[in-house]
Amino acid sequence: MKVRVRYFGVIREIAEKREETFEVPVAVTLLSLLRTVAAKYGGNMESYLFDSNAITLRPIHMYLLNGEAFKAGQASTVRLDEDSVVSIIPTQGG
């Protein structure tokens, strides 16, 4: 199935694009999709999205699925559907 991922802020800079479509297995979780994104873009993306243990998502970012916010700890249970739109929004410092 196909899902779309939108990138914002520093994450957009790492990916060098605003959004892209991924072909993923049916019933994939948000966490699995974000692991796929991290694997595609390598170390910078992985360290930006995941804690140092590379297992859990950093809770400081916003993760939206079809406009609905989810906490990092929920990512392993949130299932995606065909044509889902995932937005990754980093927090802004300053």
Segment 35-88, tens digit of pLDDT: 999 999 998 999 999 987 778 898 889 999 999 999 999 999 999 999 999 999
Which CATH number belongs to the domain containing residue 32 in this structure? 3.10.20.30
Other Cβ atoms within 10 Å of 79 Cβ, number: 12
Please tell me the predicted confidence (pLDDT) of residue 43.
85
Let me know if residue 83 belongs to a domain. Answer: yes
Query: Is 94 part of a structural domain of the chain?
Result: no
Q: Which domain holds residue 76?
A: 2-89
Threshold 0.75, pTM exceeds: yes
Question: Which phi and psi (to 5°) does residue 87 adopt?
Answer: -115, 135
For the cut 80, the answer to whether the pLDDT of residue 32 exceeds it is: yes
**Confidence band for 93, pLDDT divided at 50, 70 and 90:** low
With left for phi above 0 and alpha for psi between -120 and 50, is residue 15 left, alpha or beta? alpha
**Which bin fits 16, alpha (ψ -120 to 50), beta or left (φ > 0)?**
left
* DSSP helix/strand/coil, 79: strand
Q: Is residue 77 one of the residues assigned to a domain?
A: yes
